[in-house]
Structure formats: C-alpha cells, structure tokens
Amino acid sequence: MELELNRAYYKEGTNGTLFCSGNYLCHTIELPWKNNKRSISCIPEGVYEVEPRFSKRFKHHLILKDVKGRSFILFHPANDALKELQGCIAPVTYLSGIGKGIYSKNAMQKLLSLVYQAKDRKETILLTIKSQNYEHCRTL
C-alpha cells in the first residue's frame, strides 16, 4: 500500500495532506522543521515503511521504521502539535490552524482500517513524505 504525505512547512508547525493510492485520506499535523532534532522537529522527507503497533498509551497506532537519527516516530491521535507531539505525525479530519486540527481519533481510525486491510493482504505499507512548498522549507 502506498501512502503519500504532502507537507506545508510553517514556523509554528507543519500541516499535511495524506493520500492513499492517490486518494485523499485525511490531513496531518506535525511539529515545525528544526533540522530533525529529536522531540522538537518533524522528520525528514523520504520514504518510510509503516507498521501497526500497540501500546498502553496510544492503543492501536502506527510506527515508522528506519527514520535516520530518530526512533519511535509514530502516527497517533493529537489535535495540537506543539502540545501533544514529540516528533510524531497526527492524522486529523480537519485542519484548524498551523499544527492544529480536530477529530484526530476519527482520522486515525480511518488510517488504521486501511493499514490493517493491507496487512491482511500481506502488503508492505510505504509512506512517502514530500513538500508542497519545497522552496519555502529550504529557507526555514
């Protein structure tokens, strides 16, 4: 299964739009780009394998594998990147500001459903992260 995250970078946070096989799935929120610094930056653009995961804290969620210089980068519910994320990605149903969204748990359920279906089909799940405003992010 192919997921694609198109990001827009801002000083206060990173907003994105997530697509599955070219079809709109949901929006995303993340921390701003701060040179991939642990816990305060979104991760670099690139291609990552995604796996389902379970923890007591986040219940069913997703983990990105082999993120250079980082570990435990997750997809989990959150509605305010600066208050609730430490480098992870949160799916949201609607964007309500820069790095902010609403109905994150609903968007997470939608994403998890697709990922578990792909896993049942024994598919590899790949996430490609790229920029909507590439020139802008280079100047941050």
Question: pLDDT in tens for each of the 140 residues of the chain?
Answer: 999 999 999 999 999 999 999 999 999 999 999 999 999 999 999 999 999 999 999 899 999 999 999 999 999 999 999 999 999 999 999 999 999 999 999 999 999 999 999 999 999 999 999 997 544 444 44
Contacts 24+ apart (CB under 8 A), 137-140: 137/7, 137/9, 137/33, 140/9, 140/11, 140/32, 140/33
Q: Residue 71: give its domain's CATH number.
A: 2.40.440
Q: How far apart are CA 42 and CA 109, in angstroms?
A: 22
Q: Parallel, antiparallel, or unpaired: how do β-strands 125-131 and 2-10 relate?
A: parallel
Phi, psi torsion values for 138, nearest 5 degrees: -70, -20
In 3-state terms, what secondary structure has residue 65? strand
Domain that holds residue 132: 2-138
Structural domains in the chain (count): 1
